[in-house]
């Protein structure tokens, strides 16, 4: 089968974060991990071309998936493989969107990434093969991917036995015992020695390693971003007040402060009276401009990014984080101030 | 410590009439008598409705819900609002079980929710099972929303007492003795001493809960007499997250306290209740969590069930308390709702404990289709669905009042998909 392989700029050897903004392109033959994958695959299947896109460009622009898919078609792809992206969020999101687009268009496709990758949920119905958390697991991951490709090429559906991971859905349902009664039973089970009993697994939450400190703040571009739902008065773009499905951007170029009455918070989760009286207390544009004038920071990014954190699902919030990071990096922003409510 | 006796009068039917009366399980709400209880300069007008279980009625934007209770002509329920706190405790409290009074309509921070009295949403809200007296109101010109909210809250409490007063002379269907919690240092017969910490939301106007008439904000956690909670010492003025809301009714009928009492002397000793604020600053969250854990240990609890009100912010309070309790050697269980997205595949919790155990009260994001209804109370539009209030709609579970009750009043949970194979709806764990 003619396989087209997608990798990011780093695995294509086109550069690291400095090249993360490059647009989609197609290269002949195998590149980077594609070479090893080609060896493991043997002679029956051939990687004819490699698609590449910078992580920032791909993660901040959902339309890239269609562009890449067109390139794969132009190379007469019969099967598309993306990754492995391991735990990398932007790369994982790009892989997931690409295989989702290919799968929806009827082109057999699979992606590979760690099950905790924030991109997981964007693969929709396309198969995702489990990868290790880091590239140290490259070889065993590619062996699993190669076996999955061989099976997918026969037209068979991939299952857990092939390393396929699906986000395990937790399904809400009605039960006879109300929650308070189950809580008492759970306490008694734990007191009786069953220390594993729980209805939701305990622990295992994301711990985000802070980025290193900014070397010289006076030289960097700083962005203001918020989950406090600050929008122009009247909320013209109809940002949700809870359970966000999207984020927005607004220009602050040339503005010294957010004028009361022109900006408001539509967050449904806190008392907005004080925030609306002075929106700068939610998005500190006035203070940031002062720091900019005093030379404490280099310059302020000319737009801010905003969503509402109130009741927004964890998976959606993680995806926003990946998209914001890509967006800001692409714009040359080196530091961001995230205000929360 | 004093004991309380609940004189339970069951309400099977409800209607609006000329004079309030209760007989043969029927509650008649005297229209003019009820409306007069809402006389307040902050309210321009008030309307009275009733809605019974099974009715094709949708209550839009429900606010607080209160169970009708009375201690008779001398008063004594809702201390801090309707009675002095330094009155005699305990004694007899008349309860109109199966009835509730509630307000519905716009308030600035009332996140819009609903109660459907029939259909799939009715299976999910405890307030689809009560015969409801519903108050609609209009704010007076010149009155602030805060003033209108206080007027509605006071009116609801007065109405709850007024209705239960009608049953004081009736012979109760059931009498229920509520003993004080097990006293530390007395023999347990080898049973574990299990208590509850209940976090009360304290985020300012329209997001506040009152203890003896005062906001719990700024307080340290405190041991609290559970019969005072029965008698309405905890009153809600909190209108966020409908599914994650704890109306006054659920404090009066605190589900965890009820379940602990039900097993008292059999599997456990009901050890007591700690009330705690949910502050918004991290340092204050750490302070109240550390102090609550110490208080439980000092009171001789072996295990604690921890409850909250609200979403993300409140999840941190649960996390810190469970971790603090378990670090102190107590067994802890917390009640959380999940935020795992409409398909249930996302991570379930924003912030969860590192030890202890968790009860799932259901998924906030799971969507549910509701059929059209004949009549709506509380508003003509359902803004969350951008639809007429009586229309067939699809909404997230988050909008159904107390469906994900953090006090444990709901019947929802979540389980991983693969565990569901072959199991039928309604099956228990």
At residue B418, the pLDDT reads 59
- Residues A155, A222, single domain; the answer is no
Average pLDDT of the residues of chain A = 93
Look at residues A162, A192, A225 and tell me which one is the last residue of a structural domain.
Answer: A162
Alpha carbons A13 and A10: distance in angstroms, whole number: 5
At residue B427, the pLDDT reads 35
Ramachandran angles phi, psi of A246, nearest 5°: -155, 170
**Nearest CB partner across the interface for B259, out of A166, A181, A197:** A181
At residue B422, the pLDDT reads 38
Average pLDDT of the residues of chain B = 94
- Residues A222, A157, single domain; the answer is no
Residues B390-427 have pLDDT tens digits of 999 999 999 999 999 999 999 999 998 754 443 433 33
Residue B419: CB atoms within 10 Å: 11
- Residues A47, A153, single domain; the answer is yes
Best residue in A170, A205, A276 for a mutation probing chain B (most B CBs within 10 Å): A170
Residues B158-181 have pLDDT tens digits of 999 999 999 999 999 999 999 999
* Helix (H), strand (E), coil (C) string for A268-329: CCCCCHHHHHCHHHCCCHHHHHHHHHHCCCCEECCEEEECECCCCCHHHHHHHHHHHHHHHH
pTM for this predicted structure: 0.86
**Chain-chain contact of A172 with B366 (C-beta, under 8 angstroms):** yes
Residues A86-99 have pLDDT tens digits of 999 999 999 999 99
At residue A95, the pLDDT reads 97
**Portion of chain B with pLDDT greater than 90, in percent:** 89
* Helix (H), strand (E), coil (C) string for chain A: CEEEEEEECCCCCCCCHHHCCCCCEEEECCCCHHHHHHHHHCCCCEEEEEEEECHHHHHCCCCHHHHHHHHHHHCCCCEEEECCCCCCHHHHHHHHHHHHHHHHCCCCEEEEECCCCCCHHHHCCCCEEECCCCHHHHHHHHHHHHHHHHHHHCCCCCCHHHCECCCCCEEEEECCCCHHHHHHHHHHHHHCCCCCCCCCCCCCCCCCCCCCCCCCHHHCEEEEEECECEEECCCCCCCCCCCCCCCEEEECCCCCCCCECCEEECCCCCCCHHHHHCHHHCCCHHHHHHHHHHCCCCEECCEEEECECCCCCHHHHHHHHHHHHHHHHHCCCCEEEEECC
Asked, for residue A223, whether it belongs to a domain, the answer is yes
| Residues of chain A numbered 167-226 and touching chain B (CB < 8 Å) | 167-188, 190-191, 197-200, 202-203, 205-206
In this structure, are strands A248-251 and A303-306 parallel, antiparallel, or unpaired? antiparallel
Q: What is the DSSP letter of B344?
A: S
Residues B271-299 have pLDDT tens digits of 999 999 999 899 999 999 999 999 999 99
At residue A311, the pLDDT reads 80
What's the number of domains chain A is made of? 2
Look at residues A139, A162, A185 and tell me which one is the last residue of a structural domain.
Answer: A162
- Residues A33, A143, single domain; the answer is yes
Whether residue B428 has pLDDT greater than 70: no
Q: State how far residue B299 is from chain A, nearest Cα, in angstroms.
A: 18
Whether residue A180 has pLDDT greater than 50: yes
Domain of A113, CATH number, reads 3.40.50.2300
At residue A253, the pLDDT reads 95
**Nearest CB partner across the interface for A315, out of B123, B241, B347:** B347
**Touching check for B191 and chain A: CB below 8 Å?**
no
Whether residue A305 has pLDDT greater than 90: yes
Look at residues A162, A188, A206 and tell me which one is the last residue of a structural domain.
Answer: A162
Asked, for residue A185, whether it belongs to a domain, the answer is no
Instruction: Please identify which residue in the block is written with the tokens 């459907």.
Output: B116
Residues A280-296 have pLDDT tens digits of 999 999 999 999 999 99
Residues B359-397 have pLDDT tens digits of 999 999 999 999 999 999 999 999 999 999 999 999 999
Helix axes B312-327, B282-298, angle to 10 degrees: 40
- Residues A257, A328, single domain; the answer is yes
Instruction: Look up the domain containing A79 and give its range.
Output: 2-162
**Touching check for A242 and chain B: CB below 8 Å?**
yes
Tokens of B233: 């010492």
**Portion of chain A with pLDDT greater than 70, in percent:** 99
Element (H, E) at B277: strand B269-278
At residue A124, the pLDDT reads 86
Alpha carbons B119 and B122: distance in angstroms, whole number: 5
Instruction: Please identify which residue in the block is written with the tokens 């020695």.
Output: A193
Domain ranges, ordered by start, for chain B: 4-415
Tokens of B416: 């991983």
């Amino acid at each position: 089968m003619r396989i087209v392989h997608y990798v990011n700029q780093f695995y294509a050897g086109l550069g690291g974060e400095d090249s993360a903004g490059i647009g989609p392109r197609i290269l002949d033959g195998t590149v980077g991990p594609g070479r090893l994958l080609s060896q493991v695959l043997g002679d029956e299947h051939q990687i004819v071309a490699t698609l590449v896109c910078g992580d920032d460009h791909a993660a901040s622009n959902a339309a890239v998936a269609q562009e890449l898919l067109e390139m794969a078609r132009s190379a007469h792809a019969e099967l598309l493989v993306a990754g492995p992206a391991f735990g990398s969020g932007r790369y994982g999101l790009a892989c997931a969107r690409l295989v989702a687009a290919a799968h929806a268009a009827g082109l057999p496709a699979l992606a590979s990434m760690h099950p905790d990758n924030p991109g997981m949920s964007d693969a929709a119905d396309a198969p995702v093969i489990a990868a290790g958390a880091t590239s140290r697991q490259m070889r065993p991951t590619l062996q699993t991917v190669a076996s999955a490709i061989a099976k997918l090429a026969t037209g068979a559906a991939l299952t857990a036995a092939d390393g396929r991971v699906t986000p395990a859905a937790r399904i809400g349902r009605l039960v006879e015992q109300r929650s308070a009664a189950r809580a008492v039973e759970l306490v008694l089970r734990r007191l009786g020695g069953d220390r594993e009993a729980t209805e939701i697994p305990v622990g295992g939450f994301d711990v985000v390693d802070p980025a290193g400190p900014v070397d010289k703040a006076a030289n960097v571009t700083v962005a203001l971003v918020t989950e406090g739902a600050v929008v122009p008065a009247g909320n013209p773009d109809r940002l949700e007040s809870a359970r966000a499905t999207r984020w927005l951007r607004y220009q602050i170029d040339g503005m010294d402060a957010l004028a009361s009455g022109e900006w408001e918070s539509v967050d449904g989760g806190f008392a907005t009276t004080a925030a609306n009286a002075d929106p700068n207390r939610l998005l500190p544009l006035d203070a940031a401009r002062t720091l900019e004038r005093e030379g404490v920071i280099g310059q302020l990014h000319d737009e801010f990014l905003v969503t509402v954190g109130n009741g927004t699902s964890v998976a959606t919030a993680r995806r926003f984080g990946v998209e914001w990071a890509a967006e800001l990096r692409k714009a040359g922003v080196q530091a961001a101030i995230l205000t929360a409510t | 410590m004093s004991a309380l006796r609940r004189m339970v009068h069951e309400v099977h039917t409800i209607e609006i009439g000329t004079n309030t009366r209760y007989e043969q399980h029927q509650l008649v709400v005297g229209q003019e008598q009820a409306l007069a209880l809402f006389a307040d300069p902050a309210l321009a007008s008030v309307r009275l409705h009733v809605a019974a279980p099974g009715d094709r009625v949708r209550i839009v934007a429900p606010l607080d819900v209160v169970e009708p209770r009375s201690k008779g002509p001398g008063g004594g329920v809702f201390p801090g609002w309707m009675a002095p706190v330094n009155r005699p405790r305990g004694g007899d409290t008349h309860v109109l079980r199966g009835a509730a009074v509630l307000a519905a309509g716009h308030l600035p921070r009332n996140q819009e929710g609903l109660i459907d009295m029939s259909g799939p949403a009715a299976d999910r809200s405890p307030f689809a099972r009560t015969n409801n007296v519903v108050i609609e109101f209009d704010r007076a010109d010149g009155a602030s929303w805060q003033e209108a909210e206080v007027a509605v809250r006071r009116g609801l409490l007065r109405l709850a007492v007024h209705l239960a007063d009608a049953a004081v002379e009736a012979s109760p269907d059931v009498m229920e003795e509520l003993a004080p919690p097990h006293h530390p240092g007395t023999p347990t017969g080898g049973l574990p001493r299990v208590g509850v910490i209940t976090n009360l939301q304290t985020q300012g106007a329209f997001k506040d809960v009152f203890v003896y008439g005062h906001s719990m904000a700024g307080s340290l956690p405190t041991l609290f007499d559970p019969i005072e909670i029965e008698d309405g010492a905890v009153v809600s003025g909190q209108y966020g997250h409908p599914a994650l809301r704890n109306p006054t009714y659920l404090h009066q009928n605190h589900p965890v306290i009820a379940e602990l009492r039900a097993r008292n002397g059999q599997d456990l000793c009901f050890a007591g209740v700690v009330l705690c604020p949910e502050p918004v600053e991290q340092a204050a969250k750490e302070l109240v969590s550390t102090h609550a854990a110490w208080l439980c240990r000092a009171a001789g609890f072996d295990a604690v069930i921890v409850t909250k009100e609200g979403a993300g912010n409140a999840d941190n309070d649960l996390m810190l308390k469970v971790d603090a309790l378990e670090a102190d050697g107590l067994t802890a269980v917390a009640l959380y709702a999940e935020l795992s997205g409409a398909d249930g595949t996302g991570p379930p919790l924003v912030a969860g404990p590192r030890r202890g155990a968790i009860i799932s009260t259901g998924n906030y994001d799971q969507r549910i289709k509701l059929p059209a209804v004949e009549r709506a109370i509380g508003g003509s539009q359902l803004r969350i669905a951008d639809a007429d209030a009586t229309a067939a709609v699809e909404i997230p579970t988050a909008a159904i009042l107390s469906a994900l009750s953090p006090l444990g009043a709901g019947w929802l949970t979540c389980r991983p998909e693969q565990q569901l194979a072959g199991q039928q709806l309604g099956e228990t764990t």
